[in-house]
Amino acid sequence: MEDNIGYIYILENEAMPELWKIGCSERENIYKRMKELYTTGVPFHFELIYVGEVENYEEVEDKIKEEFKRHKPNRNREFYTIEPKHVIPWLKDNYTIKDVTERVKEEYDKTIDRDDKEAVKQFKEKNETYEKINSRKKKTKTGKKDLKKGNRPKLNFKKMGLIGKTIICVDKNIKAKVIDEHLVKRYGKEPCSLNKLTLNSIGSPSGSNLTHWKYKNNLLSDIYDKTYGKKT
C-alpha cells in the first residue's frame, strides 16, 4: 500500500490565464516534478494551488482525465479550463487521504529563485493595473449601451444567493442544482446554462427562462427582480 501513495497537484501560471495544470507525482519526486515544468519555454514558474496525498495516484490521474475530459482544450496535454474550486472538492470527497498543500507550498517556495518571484510579482501588478483600466472602459461602454437599449444585467446566481441551492421546474417535476455563477446541473447530466436546461427540459419555452423555474415558493424571475430591480 505504501508504494502506491503519491500526490495529485494543481498548478497555475500567470502566463496561462484560465488554464490549470493537473498532474500526479510519486511522493519523493513532487518538488522535482514541479521544477521540471519550469522550462525555457515557460516565462514564469508555476504556482501551487493544491496538493493531495492519494492512493494509486496514477489511477486517480486517469479518473481525473475521464471526469474532466471536456475541460481539456488539448487532449494530449494535462491542462484544464475548469477552475480548481470545482476540482478540489471532488478530489477530497473521492480520493484525497490528506491535504498537504501548505506543507508542500512552503517547501516548494524555498526552491524558487528570488528573481523569478520578482518577475511574477511585477507582471501581476502590471496586469492588475491593465485590468482595472480596461474594466473602467468596459463599464463606461456597457453603461451607455444598456442605457440606450434598456438592457438588464446578466443573470448571476451568486448575486441572487442561489449557489448550492436546488431549483424546480414549474412546468415539470424536474430539479436541478445551481453549481456556480452561471451554471446549473441535473442529476446524471452535464452542467449547462439555465437557457439550455430549460430548452432540453420543456422544449421551446415561452417568455423568460426565469419564469419556468422556482426556488422554494419564489420564481427565479422574482428573485432576479429583487436582486437587480424591476424593469422600467
* pLDDT, tens digit, 9 for 90 and up, residues 16-74: 888 999 999 987 677 788 788 888 788 888 999 999 999 999 999 999 999 999 999 99
CA distance 210 to 222: 8
> For the sheet containing 213-215, what is the strand order?
184-185, 175-178, 166-169, 213-215, 218-219
136: cell is: 473602467
Q: Considering the domain boundaries, does residue 217 fall inside one?
A: yes
Catalogue the long-range contacts made by 200-206 (C-beta closer than 8 Å, 24 or more residues apart): 201/169, 201/171, 201/172, 201/174, 202/169, 202/171, 202/172
Q: Considering the domain boundaries, does residue 67 fall inside one?
A: yes
Give the pLDDT confidence score for residue 206 in this predicted structure. Answer: 63
**Residue finishing a domain among 71, 87, 112:** 112
Q: What is the mean pLDDT of the segment spanning 118-136? A: 73
SS3 content of the chain, % helix, strand, coil (to 5): 45, 20, 35
Q: Considering the domain boundaries, does residue 135 fall inside one?
A: no
**Residue finishing a domain among 96, 112, 128:** 112
Query: Residue 229 — pLDDT band, cuts 50, 70, 90?
Result: confident
CA distance 179 to 26: 33
Q: Considering the domain boundaries, does residue 206 fall inside one?
A: yes
Asked if 172 and 97 sit in the same domain, the reply is no
Contacts of 52 (CB under 8 A, 6+ apart): 7, 8, 9, 88, 91, 92, 95, 96, 97, 98, 99, 100, 101
Interval 69-109: pLDDT, tens: 999 999 899 999 999 999 999 999 999 999 999 999 888 88
Asked if 94 and 11 sit in the same domain, the reply is yes
Overall pTM > 0.75: no
Interval 163-203: pLDDT, tens: 999 999 988 888 999 999 999 998 888 889 898 888 887 77
Query: How crowded is the C-beta side of 164, counted as CA atoms within 13 Å?
Result: 3
Q: Considering the domain boundaries, does residue 126 fall inside one?
A: no
Number of domains in the chain: 2
**Residue finishing a domain among 112, 132, 155:** 112
Give the pLDDT confidence score for residue 31 in this predicted structure. Answer: 77
For residue 52, count CB atoms less than 10 angstroms from its CB and return exposed for 0-12, middle for 13-18, buried for 19 or more: buried
Q: Considering the domain boundaries, does residue 40 fall inside one?
A: yes
Asked if 103 and 181 sit in the same domain, the reply is no
- Alpha carbon separation from 178 to 88, 100, 163, 186, 227 (Å, rounded): 18, 30, 5, 9, 17
Q: What is the mean pLDDT of the segment spanning 148-174? A: 84
Backbone angles phi, psi at 153, to 5 degrees: -60, 150
85 three-state secondary structure: helix
Asked if 178 and 83 sit in the same domain, the reply is no
Domain carrying residue 28: 2-112
Interval 2-13: pLDDT, tens: 568 999 999 999
* Alpha helices (runs of H) in the chain, residue ranges in sequence order: 30-36, 57-67, 84-94, 101-110, 114-149, 194-202, 220-228
Interval 128-148: pLDDT, tens: 765 565 565 555 555 554 444
